[in-house]
Amino acid sequence: MKKIIIIVLAIIVLVSLDLITKEWAVKNLKTTYGFDVIDGFWRFDYVENHNIAFGIGTQLPESFKQPIILATNILALVFLLIFMRQAPKSILLYTSATVIISGAIGNLIDRIHNGFVVDFIHWYYQSFHWPVFNLADAYVTVGMVLLFIEFLFFNNPQKLDKAANLTS
C-alpha cells in the first residue's frame, strides 16, 4: 500500500509540473517569438502540437485525428497499468512506469483541455533541430529508456536463470 501511495503522489507531482510549465509557456511564449536559454542549443518556443510525438499523425484526417490520438493515449495508459501490475517488480520498473504514466496523463489532460498539446522546449545545434517537446514528452522518453535498461540488464531470463542456479 505504501508503494502505491508513493507512486500516486509522484504522478500527481510530475503531472502538476508538466501542466504548470505548459501554462507558463502559454502565458509567456504564445504571443512572442520565444527566447534562447542557451544560445545555439536551447530555446523556449511555443508550439501547438495537434499530432502524436515527432509529427506522427499528420496524415490522419482532421475529423479522426483527435479521437484516434485520445483512444491511443487511453489504451496506452490501461496497458501500462496492467503491465505494471503483472510484470516482475523492481524499483526501476516502478520508476519507469511512474514517469511514463505521468507523461501520458499530462499530455492527455492537455489534449482534452485544448484539443492539442503545448510544446515549448526546443533543442537544436546549427541546422539540426530536435522536435519541440514538453516535460510530459521528456517523462515518456526517460521512462522508456529506464524500461529498456530494466529489460536489457536486470530482467534478462538468462541472467535470472544463472542467478537462480547460483543460489540453489
Q: What is the pLDDT of residues 84-134, one digit of tens each?
A: 777 777 889 889 999 999 999 999 999 999 989 999 999 999 999 999 999
pLDDT of residue 160: 45
Distance CA 10, CA 7 (A): 5
Question: How many distinct structural domains can be found in the chain?
Answer: 1
Q: Which of the four pLDDT bands, split at 50, 70 and 90, describes residue 53?
A: low
pLDDT of residue 157: 57
Q: Which of the four pLDDT bands, split at 50, 70 and 90, describes residue 57?
A: low
Give whole-number Cα distances, 16 to 21, 23, 83, 107, in Å.
9, 10, 24, 11
* CA 161 distance to own-chain centroid: 33
Residue 137 pLDDT more than 90? yes
Annotation marks residue 137 as catalytic: yes
Mean pLDDT for the chain? 86
pLDDT of residue 163: 43
Q: Which of the four pLDDT bands, split at 50, 70 and 90, describes residue 55?
A: low
Distance CA 101, CA 50 (A): 20
How confident is the model over 13-37, as a mean pLDDT? 96
Q: Which of 18, 45, 110, 119 is catalytic?
A: 119
pLDDT of residue 166: 46
Q: Which structural domain range is residue 70 located in?
A: 2-167
How confident is the model over 136-147, as a mean pLDDT? 94
| Length of the chain as a residue count | 168
